Amino acid sequence: AQKITQTQPGMFVQEKEAVTLDCTYDTSDPSYGLFWYKQPSSGEMIFLIYQGSYDQQNATEGRYSLNFQKARKSANLVISASQLGDSAMYFCAIFQGAQKLVFGQGTRLTINP
């Protein structure tokens, strides 16, 4: 079964600095997708970025990029030039089978002014 590990329960970063949120995964499937979601204090789950296992390049979406190291089974989220509005919980997730996402425990990111 697929598994996601996020080892950082909390991160504190100064505004405008870059931040890396760690995610490692475990799967025996050759074909899979990795996703990052942001959950602000209001509770909704906001999709940020996707990385497919066959993608040759790391995914980028605006200030978000994914540092995908397939051999190490890691898919770290990098947020450049952090903003106060980036303060939230961040979840890494992997597809299991064809139907469901399996989520990690999440990392609470706090951006300090």
**CA angle 99-94-30, nearest 5°?**
85
Q: Is 84 helix (H, G, I), strand (E, B) or coil?
A: helix
**12 or 54: whose CB is closer to another protein?**
54
Q: Quick check: 52 binds another protein (CB under 8 A)? A: yes
d(CA 39, CA 37): 7
End-to-end Cα separation, the chain, in angstroms:
41
Q: Per-residue contact track with another protein, 6 to 45, x per CB under 8 A?
A: -----------------------x-xxxxx-x----xxxx
State the nearest-atom distance from the C-beta of 113 to another protein, in Å. Answer: 26
Q: Given the rule CB under 8 A, which of 14-22, 64-72, 77-85, 95-103 is the region that contacts another protein? A: 95-103
Write the CA distances from 108 to 30, 32, 54, 59, 75, integer angstroms.
Answer: 30, 25, 29, 22, 17
Tell whether residue 54 is a contact of another protein (CB under 8 A): yes
Q: Which residues bind another protein (CB under 8 A)?
A: 29, 31-35, 37, 42-47, 50, 52-54, 91, 93-106
